[in-house]
């Protein structure tokens, strides 16, 4: 049984968290999901709905997999020392660290992506990549995988990335089955990225 720590903060992008969690949640016999935040109490996403928190940073719980979203709140959270310290404290023992959209800017600001390949939301590419001068940023990628780090492009790309994570942990056949259960058209090619061209990055 692996435990996912799904990190939320004020202004997170709703689908960045709940898209991947829908995929992971179909493996309830193998994965437990915990919602994690800096403080107790409901956390409002960027479009309004609030998420109830299971754990706080101060609870000092170690997670096997971290899931970090993007969203408008990342503009503040890249400078959140408590979040950066907590991520660095988790990183050593975590099996996998994943981010969706501009969540990779938070990982980069914490120094966790130095020397690693990563990507981010293509509409916010210039802003997000400014926090990681030592990161090998890929401007055309649906998602990236580098050792224990998975990063994805914007919003819906997190579901493709989560299926790639499932394939790594449980095999390609299981990832395909999850996609079928979700009736989701899985983009399996990490280099498939029409949005890089739309936003003038290639």
Per-residue pLDDT reduced to its tens digit, 97-150: 999 999 999 999 999 999 999 999 999 999 999 999 999 999 999 999 999 999
> What is the model's pLDDT at position 66?
98
Residue 161 confidence class, pLDDT cut points 50, 70, 90 = very high
Structure tokens at 167: 């394939």
> What is the model's pLDDT at position 155?
94
Q: What span, in angstroms and rounded, lies between the C-alpha atoms of 23 and 195?
A: 23
- For each of the domains in the chain, give its residue range(s) and CATH number, in order of start: 2-198 (3.40.50.880)
> What is the model's pLDDT at position 173?
98
In the three-class reduction of DSSP (H, G, I as helix; E, B as strand; rest coil), residue 37 is classed as strand
Q: Chain-wide mean pLDDT for the chain?
A: 97
| Global confidence as pTM | 0.97
> What is the model's pLDDT at position 190?
97
pLDDT digits 0-9 by tens, 10-46: 999 999 999 999 999 999 999 999 999 999 999 999 9
CA distances from 125 to 11, 80, 107, 189, 190 (A): 18, 20, 14, 20, 17
> What is the model's pLDDT at position 22?
98
The beta strand positions in 19-81, using DSSP E, are 31-37, 43-44, 50-51, 55-56, 65-68
> What is the model's pLDDT at position 12?
98
User: Which run of H or E residues covers position 108?
Assistant: helix 103-109
In the three-class reduction of DSSP (H, G, I as helix; E, B as strand; rest coil), residue 10 is classed as coil
Q: What span, in angstroms and rounded, lies between the C-alpha atoms of 114 and 149?
A: 11
> What is the model's pLDDT at position 152?
98
Torsion from C-alpha of 54, 60, 62, 67, nearest 10 degrees: 50
């Amino acid at each position: 049984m692996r435990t996912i720590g799904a990190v939320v903060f004020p202004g997170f992008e709703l689908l960045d968290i709940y898209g991947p969690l829908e995929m992971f949640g179909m493996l309830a016999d193998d994965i437990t999901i915990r919602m994690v935040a800096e403080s107790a109490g409901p956390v409002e996403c960027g479009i309004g709905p609030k998420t109830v928190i299971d754990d706080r940073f101060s609870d000092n719980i170690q997670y096997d997999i971290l899931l970090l979203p993007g969203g408008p709140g990342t503009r503040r959270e890249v400078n959140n020392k408590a979040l950066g310290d907590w991520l660095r404290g988790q990183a050593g023992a975590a099996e996998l660290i994943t981010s969706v959209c501009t969540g990779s800017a938070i990982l980069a600001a914490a120094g966790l992506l130095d020397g690693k390949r990563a990507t981010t939301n293509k509409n916010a590419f210039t802003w997000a990549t400014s926090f990681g001068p030592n990161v090998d940023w890929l401007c055309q990628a649906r998602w990236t995988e580098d050792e224990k780090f998975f990063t994805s492009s914007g919003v819906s790309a997190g579901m493709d990335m989560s299926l790639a994570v499932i394939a790594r942990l449980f095999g390609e056949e299981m990832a395909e089955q999850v996609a079928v259960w979700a009736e989701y058209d899985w983009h399996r090619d990490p280099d498939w990225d029409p949005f890089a061209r739309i936003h003038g990055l290639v």
